[in-house]
């Protein structure tokens, strides 16, 4: 999911619609635009392959 919402709001929506389980740790699966920008090129590539949510991008 890609959204302009705040990361916490986006994660809550993902939990509600079943992208994330209620107690699932979202590290490495959910990124804000700023978090993504702070990654190295290699980490960005990995994030694109595994992430399920990007917020405020």
Three state DSSP letters for the chain = CEECCCHHHHHHHHHHHCCCCCCCCCCCCEEEHHHHHCCCHHHHHHHHHHCCEEECC
Name residues of the chain where pLDDT drops below 50.
none
User: What global pTM score does this model have?
Assistant: 0.89
């Amino acid at each position: 999911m890609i959204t302009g919402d705040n990361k916490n709001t986006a994660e809550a929506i993902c939990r509600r619609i079943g992208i994330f389980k209620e107690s699932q740790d979202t590290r490495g699966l959910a990124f804000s635009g700023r978090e993504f920008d702070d990654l190295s090129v290699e980490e960005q590539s990995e994030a694109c392959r595994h992430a399920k949510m990007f917020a405020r991008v």
